[in-house]
Structure 1
Amino acid sequence: MKSVAWYKKQLKHKPVQITRYVVQAMFLLFLLYVGFQFYQFYQHFETLGKTPFVERPSAVEGFLPISALVALKVWLTSGEFDAIHPAGLVLLAFFIGAGFLLRKSFCSWICPVGTAGEMIGWLGRKIFKKNFELPRWLVWLLTPIKYVLLLFFVAMVIQMDIFSAKNFLVDPYNKVSDVKMLLLFLNIGGFTLKFVIVIFILSLFFRNFWCRFLCPYGALIGLGSIFRITKIQRNEDTCTSCEMCTKVCPQRLQVHKIEKVNSLNCSACMSCVEACPVKDTLNMTVANKKVNKWFVPVTFFVLFFVIIGIAKMTGHWDTIISYKEWKELIPDARYIGH
């Protein structure tokens, strides 16, 4: 059991990381609440009104990346904003846009899968006393997988003509895609369950295995880093090569060996900056100008809540699907698309 003094010391020397862990926990709890609320919403229609009606939480649309990707295509090509799952489009568009300036902040601060990955990695360290490292040649082989998956989904959406894309958005299958995802988790088994178990085990041994090698969503957001507007810079003159920065990096980047962290995997978590024992040896920079270590997370969350607020005020957050239509769709959701 660690003492109060230990926690005070951590808060003093690593305020961003302590804040990040708290924010991750809060968002994880919030999303669990959203999931439970959505389950109650579903149950009302599944039981034909025998359970109380609960408002559908629009935030659940954040778990519909394919629908949001098609909606993004329609919006960019025709100017029509998706009214079926508008919150999903708002969130995807924001996360992609934020990636240009703020790198993969979404992944390190609020993504529930990223949070779970870090928790499993922590559990692995408790069990095995460390996280293991993959051989460099294997890292090179595994890294392209998430980009191949991303290319598959993006190509699938791009090849759709605008008429087909619009029809997809109003199709009953897309309308109940959130319900179908819920049913997938409620009835998890077979290949899906085996896949989750395998990823869990791999993540125990190899920290953030899913995020580093398999997540196409994170790969998409990370593409904005190609422009290198925001990056960590290392002062080679003052660096002592203690490797603390590399040891704490959730993405296992070799920070102590490079002058500028330009990797698309960097999630701007600021772990390396706070772990560095030498002042001003590692700094976050924007357009090659040093910024405060709080700049990225604060900017991300200010924009995040402003965008959501604007979406709600302008009617681009809640679905237009009516109670009556949900009543017709949800009881048959498991059969739609089969």
Structure 2
Amino acid sequence: MKSKAWYKKQLKRKPITITRYVVQSVFLLFLLYVGVQFYRFYMHFETLGETTFVERPAAVEGFLPISALVALKVWINSGEFDQIHPAGLVLFSFFVGAGIIFRKSFCSWFCPVGTVSEWTARLGKKIFKRNFEIPTWLAWLLSPIKYLLLLFFLSMVIQMSTYSAKAFLELDYNKVSDVKMLQFFLTIGGTGLTVIAVIFILSLFFKNFWCRFLCPYGALIGLGSIFRITKIRRNEETCTNCEMCTKVCPQRLKVHKVEAVNSLNCTACMSCVEACPVKDTLNMTVVNKKVNKWFIPVAFLVMFILFVGLAKITGHWDTIISYEEWKQLIPDANYVGH
């Protein structure tokens, strides 16, 4: 059991990293709470009212990126904001749009899968005393996978006409897509468990395997980095090539070898900046101007709170599906097909 003094020392040495771990943990606990509440909501209708009714947590829609992608297409083309899963569209739009300025901050600060992936890597390091490196040639072969998955989903939605996209949003299938997602995990079969087990084992050996090579959502958010509004710059004159920045990077980027971190995989976790032992050798920049190392995470968190708050105030958060409609939809969700 580590002492209180040890934790204080770690907080003093790595305040941003510790803060990020705390934010990740709080957000993960919040999402677990959302999951429990949604399960209770579901069971009320599944048992035909025998269990206590609880309000459906709108935040569950954050797990419906495909529905949100279709809704975004409709919003852009027709100006009509999705009223079936509005919170999903709000969260999807914010996280993807925020990638232009905040890079993949969602992945390093909020994403529950990213959090579990990091924890798994830390567990692997305790077991094997280190995290293993994937050979460069293999990393090059694996890197396109998440972009191919992203291309598949994007092409599928882009090919839909606006009329078809609107029709999809109104389908019972889309209305209960969150319920069907829950049912999938409640009745998960051998194939699903095998996939999860393989990803878990790979993450034990190779840090953030899912995030680095397989996640299409992270790939989409990372495309915002193409504009290079924000980047981490390295002062080659003061750099000692200690490689501390590279060692702590969750995405295994070779920070010590580049003048500026322009990689689409950078999650703006700020670990490299914090780990650098030489002052002003690594700095986050916005439009090539140096900013405080806390700027990106704090601004991202503040903007997220404001964005969600605005959505709630303006009525763009809660679904229009009524209790009576849920009463009809949920008991028949198993029989609703695409």
CA distance in structure 2 between the aligned counterparts of 1:335 and 1:112, rounded to whole angstroms: 30
Q: How large is the Cα RMSD of the aligned pairs?
A: 0.7
1:115 and 1:4 map into 2 onto residues whose CA distance is: 24
Read off the aligned partner of 1:196 and give its amino acid letter: I
Aligned equivalent of 1:117: 117
**Displacement, 1:4?**
2.5
Residue 249 of structure 2 is aligned to residue 225 of structure 1: no
Q: Normalization by structure 2: what TM-score?
A: 0.99
Match of 2:23 in 1: 23
- For 2:201, the equivalent position in structure 1 comes to 201
The correspondence of residues 210-249 of structure 1 with structure 2, limited to 5 A, is 210-249=210-249
Q: Quick one: distance in 2 between partners of 1:2 and 1:263? A: 36
Deviation string, structure 1 residues 193-247 (Cα, Å, up to 9, x no partner):
1100000000000000000000000000000000111011011111111111111
CA distance in 1: counterparts of 2:192 and 2:17, whole angstroms: 33
Task: Give the structure 2 partner of residue 258 of structure 1.
Answer: 258
Superposition map of 1:182-201 within 5 A: 182-201=182-201
Listed one character per residue, the Cα deviations across residues 68-97 of structure 1 (whole Å, up to 9, x for unaligned) are: 000000000000000000000000000111
Give the aligned length. Answer: 338
Report the AA paired with residue 225 of structure 1: S
Deviation (angstroms), 1:5: 2.5
Q: Distance in 2 between matches of 1:2 and 1:37?
A: 34
The amino acid that maps onto 2:27 is F
> Matched residues in 2 for 1:247 and 1:179: separation?
41
State the secondary structure of the residue aligned to 2:311. helix
The answer to whether the aligner puts 1:309 opposite 2:309 as a matched pair is: yes
Work out the CA distance in 1 between the residues paired with 2:297 and 2:88. Answer: 22
TM-aligned CA deviation for residue 14 of structure 1: 1.1
1:2 Cα deviation (Å)? Answer: 2.8
Distance (whole Å) between structure 2 residues aligned to residue 132 and residue 100 of structure 1: 31
Report the Cα distance in structure 1 between the residues aligned to 2:154 and 2:281, rounded to whole angstroms: 39
Unaligned 5+ runs, structure 1: none
Partner of 1:268: 268
Match of 2:173? 173
Instruction: Give 1:234's aligned amino acid.
Output: R
Deviations 1:264-309 (A, max 9, x none): 0000000001111111111000000000011001110111011111
Tell me how far apart the structure 2 counterparts of residues 313 and 332 of structure 1 sit (CA, whole Å).
33
Whole-Å separation in 2 of the counterparts to 1:2 and 1:50: 47
Match of 1:72 in 2: 72
Distance (Å, rounded) in 2 between the aligned partners of 1:206 and 1:56: 37
Question: Hey, what does 2:82 align to over in structure 1?
Answer: 82
Deviation, structure 1 residue 3: 2.9
* C-alpha deviation, 1:190, in angstroms: 2.2
For 1:190 and 1:173, the matched residues in 2 are separated by: 24
The aligned amino acid for 2:43 is: Q
- Whole-Å separation in 2 of the counterparts to 1:79 and 1:128: 53
* Residue of structure 1 in register with 2:290 after alignment: 290
Structure 2 match to 1:335: 335
Task: Encode CA deviations 1:152-206: one digit per residue, 9 max, x unaligned.
Answer: 0000000000110000001000000000000111111121111000000000000
CA distance, structure 1, for counterparts of residue 212 and residue 297 of structure 2: 21
Q: Within 5 A, what are the aligned runs for 1:39-118?
A: 39-118=39-118
1:334 and 1:119 mapped to 2: Cα distance? Answer: 34
What secondary structure sits across from 2:337 in the alignment? coil
* Overall identity of the aligned pairs, in %: 78
Provide the secondary structure at the position in 2 that maps to 1:232: strand
Looking at structure 2, the residues matched to 334 and 250 of structure 1 have their Cα atoms a distance apart, in angstroms, of 39
Distance of 1:273 and 1:292 partners within structure 2 = 10
What secondary structure, in the 3-state scheme, does the structure 2 residue paired with 1:278 have?
coil
How far apart, CA to CA, are the structure 1 residues paired with 2:120 and 2:76?
Answer: 38
Amino acid at match of 2:75: W
Q: Match of 1:203, SS?
A: helix
Unaligned runs of 5+ in 2: none
Give, as a single letter, the amino acid of the residue that structure 1 aligns with 2:15.
P
- Measured after TM superposition, the shift of residue 6 of structure 1 is 2.3
Residue type of the alignment partner of 2:159: Q
Equivalent-residue separation in structure 1 for 2:332 and 2:209 (angstroms): 37
User: 1: distance between equivalents of 2:295 and 2:39?
Assistant: 37
**TM-score relative to the length of structure 1:** 0.99
How far apart are the structure 1 equivalents of 2:13 and 2:172?
A: 52
In 1, the alpha carbon distance for the partners of 2:277 and 2:335 equals: 58
